[in-house]
């Protein structure tokens, strides 16, 4: 019986092991958070508050570390899938995929601010086109206009890739982090109705792309990315059964 290539077997074992570790890490964080609430919230005077703040800072640090580790592992797995896929299919190219995600992200912000989905029609799936068209129509009808400026992308990481023998099932996920000024006005009165203080805030999004022919089309955007969203991203490379 012909054995499967050892490198493929090793990769899938590595994926299963690291995913189990990733699942365990947030459970550790949740346990620490519960302990902090139980032991750090009842102190009196400034000492109790200082202790609570210190515990909160430690927990935030731990959570940030968990996210960093999770992202590192996912990027590593994604690179492995892309390298394998790129051997016979030049469409799988890490740098080009990351640049494409950045380009589409910026175009989406411009389209959102102008409430004009046709500006990005060629970059998004029909399903997402209809979804955004509905949202933009509602915003126009209610007189809401989102103002976005000062966009700074701090990092773009590819954290999920699925490469199938049938290309129409291929997909990838880009994790995008940065800062921007984001507020909403009434376009008739000019009144700021959301983020009146005009504070620049951080954002973390995931952009989900699907393959259509020789195009990566944006199919879904997640603006509320949690550690669980990072963990559940899938990295998979399908090989021939022959």
- pLDDT of 157-191, one tens digit each? 999 999 999 999 999 999 999 999 999 999 999 99
- Compute the Cα dihedral for 140, 145, 149, 155 and give only its sign: negative
pLDDT-derived band of residue 1, with 50, 70 and 90 as boundaries? very low
2 versus 100: the higher-pLDDT residue is 100
pLDDT of 55 reads 84
Comparing C-alpha atoms, which of 70, 54, 66, 71 is closest to residue 30? 66
What does the pLDDT read at residue 60?
83
6-237 is a CATH 3.60.15.10 domain: no
Question: What average pLDDT is seen over the chain?
Answer: 84
User: Does pLDDT of 14 surpass 60?
Assistant: no
pLDDT at 7: 33
| Residue in the block written with tokens 């209610």 | 142
- pTM for the model stands at 0.80
pLDDT classification of 121: cutoffs 50, 70, 90: very high
Residue 53: band (very low, low, confident or very high) from pLDDT cuts 50, 70, 90:
confident
Percentage of the chain beyond pLDDT 90 is: 71
Please state, for a pLDDT cut of 70, what percent of the chain lies above it: 79
């Amino acid at each position: 019986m012909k054995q499967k290539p050892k490198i493929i077997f090793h990769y899938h074992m590595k994926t299963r092991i690291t995913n189990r570790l990733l699942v365990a890490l947030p459970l550790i964080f949740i346990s620490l958070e519960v302990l902090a609430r139980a032991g750090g919230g009842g102190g009196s005077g400034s000492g109790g508050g200082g202790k609570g703040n210190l515990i909160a800072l430690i927990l935030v640090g731990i959570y940030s570390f968990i996210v960093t580790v999770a992202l590192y592992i996912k990027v590593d797995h994604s690179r492995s899938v892309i390298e394998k896929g790129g051997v016979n299919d030049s469409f799988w190219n890490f740098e080009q995929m990351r640049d494409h995600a950045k380009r589409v992200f910026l175009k989406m912000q411009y389209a959102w601010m102008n409430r004009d989905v046709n500006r990005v029609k060629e970059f998004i799936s029909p399903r997402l086109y209809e979804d955004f068209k509905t949202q933009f129509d509602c915003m126009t009808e209610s007189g809401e206009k989102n103002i976005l400026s000062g966009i700074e992308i701090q990092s773009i990481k590819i954290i999920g890739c699925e490469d199938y023998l049938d290309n129409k099932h291929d997909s990838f996920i880009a994790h995008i982090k940065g800062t921007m000024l984001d507020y909403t006005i009434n376009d008739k009165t000019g009144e700021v109705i959301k983020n009146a203080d005009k504070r620049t805030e951080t954002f973390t999004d995931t952009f989900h792309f699907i393959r259509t022919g020789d195009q990566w089309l944006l199919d879904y955007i997640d603006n509320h990315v949690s550690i669980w969203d990072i963990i559940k991203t899938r990295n998979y490379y399908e090989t021939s059964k022959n």
